[in-house]
Amino acid sequence: MRNMLKATTLERKFPLLAVENGCIISKDADITVAFRVELPELFTVTSAEYEAIHSAWYKAIKVLPDYSIVHKQDFFIKENYQPDTERDELSFLSRSFERHFNERPFLNHYCYLFLTKTTRERSRRQSDFSTLCRGRIVPQEIADKEAAAKFIEAVGQFERIMNDSGFVTLTRLAASEITGQDGKAGIIEKYFSLSQTDTTCLKDIGLYPEEMRVGDDILCLHTLSDVEDLPGKVGTDCRFEKLSTDRSDCRLSFAAPVGVLLSCNHVYNQFIFIDDHAENLKNFEQTARNMQSLSRYSRANQVNKEWIDEYLNEAHSKGLISVRCHCNVMAWSDDRDELKRIRNDVGSQLALMECKPRHNTVDTPTLFWAGIPGNEADFPAEESFYTFLGQALCLFVEETNYKSSLSPFGIKMVDRVSGRPLHIDISDLPMKKGITTNRNKFILGPSGSGKSFFTNHMVRQYYEQNAHVLLVDTGNSYLGLCEMINRKTHGEDGIYFTYTTENPIAFNPFYVEDGIFDIEKKESIKTLILTLWKRDDEAPTRAEEVALSNAVSSYIELITKDSSVTPCFNTFYEYVKTDYRAHLQEKNVREKDFDIENFLNVLEPYYRGGEYDYLLNSDKQLDLLDKRFIVFELDNISENKVLYPVITLIIMETFLTKMRRLKGIRKVLLLEEAWKAIAKAGMAGFIKYLCAPVQAA
């Protein structure tokens, strides 16, 4: 007569007793502490850092007592991006950006860690001892308070070691997060529903021999439970060929193929069982002796004996810790055709790890049951394999998908894997974390790679967050954005300057509104004149720099005392030609130290009546202090070796004025085709000088 499986309630078979003091207590007196785990983001970890993460796990697990279980559970759930378009302050482009990515699918990652203290007897039980197959049997260990206290102390040490690593963050889950409350699901409810949303409605679970169901979802399970299924060599990380080049490596953890790179709903369970190390080795030695005595009957016994000997030699000579390990990938779908594709995908990803894909069709219910948070001790011992702790840790997934920054300031970018929008702070947060010491950015790429597109996207968002943006453009890359801002502000902002012969850009380097010349202003004037005076390949001597500094300082002293002298380049030129020449003669300055005739001759085109006399003698000042989006388009003079560096310095002076007077306001200076601007030594020096106060501005 065929045996018919009868229905029962989850309450009758539920393996957990209570949650006390943040610990999950099973009906067999097992104690479990649960953590939420934050891992480094994808493609942000180097090979050396993976080694450091692996070392941190190793050190942390070593503090746990015997008969402990480490269960790392990674949920990867398909979700759709929900745009935030209801805010009134959103601009047209921001709203359009959000709408473009509406319902964009992506794989979200939720990582948990469960540390369980069980007993020697429980750790050896096989699947026929599962709570699915028997009633409640309360062991005597439930009264062992001392063992529980030692375990809790070890868990605290475990947590500190991992958090101090700087890569992995553990956050202990409160009782409400485990059990759920006020309409919010806890992690146990989420596990039974194969979801990470706040669902409080449990689904029917079908534990059929041919397949397992949770609601409408059909599960497929792949396991790593035999040494024969594993690769000959494992590592802390591997090379991701798709994004790697000859000059740079893109690294991922060894188990990444079954992590964020597996694009389907799945759970990756990683178990490490810490037994009595000395007892394990003793049992292996006994097994080796048995194999030796049986070797005459089968060659396989002799081979097995040699393998055990090698294992024991490694353990004794290198001081390695013997543990049991098990990993499984539990994927699901409510569509059978899709489930076939998922089953093949999981097998392919395991093959990328050089593992033998083993589709488990027998123990799926038992392994699902053992994956319940707090029920790790109900794991069937026959599904685990012996290895060393270091090798077992290589099977941990060590990275997560990209997360939005919590910083209020930032820009919208997209996940390189799924294309999901993210809020990323590329200015303040790297400085707070100590990654960099300034906010400067360098955008590099070949033609057509999207440099200008990204820059438009970035400066537009900076502008919308009340930053002052000044751009030096070539090629009209920012004309459209500038015109849009100009129309939106009714001409109050979005100022676009283009150099033309009829209306050239001109300014007065010697003009200051308050009449006070600080060190920065004097330095900018000196840099400007040096740029005009010296060629690219002609560096000024120390004597020439001192003479020029003295000339600028004495001229500034003159115009501050004598209001009849109009501050401009014309009067400066005349001052050097007359008064400063006499001053040099009085000090007996030699011609080889400062050739004043050469100086006057080179700068004559910028003096009254010269070819560029308009450039430095403007009678009207550019009032751009309160304008938040300014573009200087210099395409017409980008190849002019005289005008381009000078005009660029003029623009820098405008920005420097903002730096001096707009305290506490974020400012952005962007140089398109910056290599042309820094080709001149004086210009490069000025930019270097300008970047110094950026950190504080």
Instruction: Give the tens place of pLDDT for each residue, 363-395.
Output: 899 999 999 999 999 999 889 999 999 999 999
Phi and psi at residue 38, to the nearest 5°: -110, 120
The alpha carbon dihedral of 11, 16, 17, 21 has a sign of negative
Q: Angle of helix 519-533 relative to helix 681-691, nearest 10 degrees?
A: 160
List of residues 6+ apart from 522 with CB closer than 8 A? 549, 552, 553, 556
Cα gap 115→158, rounded to integer Å: 10
Q: Say what the pLDDT of residue 116 is.
A: 95
Q: Say what the pLDDT of residue 71 is.
A: 97
Q: Is the pLDDT of residue 88 over 80?
A: no
Q: Say what the pLDDT of residue 504 is.
A: 80
Q: Determine how many CB atoms are found less than 10 A away from the CB of residue 68.
A: 24
- Selected residue with higher pLDDT from 693 and 668: 668
C-beta of residue 266 within 8 angstroms of C-beta of residue 330: yes
What does 593-639 look like in DSSP terms, one character per residue? T--HHHHHHHHGGGSTTSTTTTTT--SS----TT-SEEEEE-GGGTT
Q: 623 falls in which pLDDT band (50, 70, 90)? A: low
- Of 368, 409, 654, 370, the closest CA to residue 507 belongs to 654
Cα gap 366→131, rounded to integer Å: 9
**Average of pLDDT values for 479-508?**
87
Q: For 182-203, how does the pLDDT look when each residue is reduced to its tens digit (9 = 90+)?
A: 778 899 999 999 998 877 677 8
Q: Is the pLDDT of residue 4 over 80?
A: no
Give the number of C-alpha atoms closer than 13 A to the C-alpha of residue 544, restricted to the C-beta side: 17
Q: Say what the pLDDT of residue 2 is.
A: 46
Q: Say what the pLDDT of residue 622 is.
A: 59
The alpha carbon dihedral of 336, 341, 342, 344 has a sign of positive
Q: Determine how many CB atoms are found less than 10 A away from the CB of residue 307.
A: 13
- 66 burial type by CB count under 10 A (0-12 exposed, 13-18 middle, 19+ buried): middle
Q: Say what the pLDDT of residue 588 is.
A: 84
Least confident of 42-46, 151-155, 512-516: 512-516
Instruction: Provide the pairing of β-strand 629-633 with 468-473.
Output: parallel
Q: Say what the pLDDT of residue 677 is.
A: 65
- Of 513, 527, 486, 524, the closest CA to residue 628 belongs to 486
Q: Is the pLDDT of residue 77 over 60?
A: yes
Q: Say what the pLDDT of residue 487 is.
A: 93
- Of 120, 126, 82, the closest CA to residue 104 belongs to 82
Q: Say what the pLDDT of residue 572 is.
A: 92
Phi and psi at residue 495, to the nearest 5°: -90, 125
Cα gap 392→386, rounded to integer Å: 9
- 443 burial type by CB count under 10 A (0-12 exposed, 13-18 middle, 19+ buried): middle
What does 245-258 look like in DSSP terms, one character per residue? -SS---EEETTGGG
Q: Is the pLDDT of residue 697 over 80?
A: no
Q: For 494-545, how does the pLDDT look when each residue is reduced to its tens digit (9 = 90+)?
A: 988 887 777 787 888 888 766 778 787 788 888 888 888 887 677 888 888 8
List of residues 6+ apart from 220 with CB closer than 8 A? 330, 331, 332, 339, 342, 343, 346, 359
Q: For 666-692, how does the pLDDT look when each residue is reduced to its tens digit (9 = 90+)?
A: 999 888 877 766 766 656 766 776 666
- Of 615, 451, 407, the closest CA to residue 528 belongs to 615
Q: Is the pLDDT of residue 598 over 50?
A: yes
Give the number of C-alpha atoms closer than 13 A to the C-alpha of residue 674, restricted to the C-beta side: 16
**Average of pLDDT values for 466-493?**
90
**For a pLDDT cut of 90, what percent of the chain falls above it?**
41
- Selected residue with higher pLDDT from 562 and 337: 337
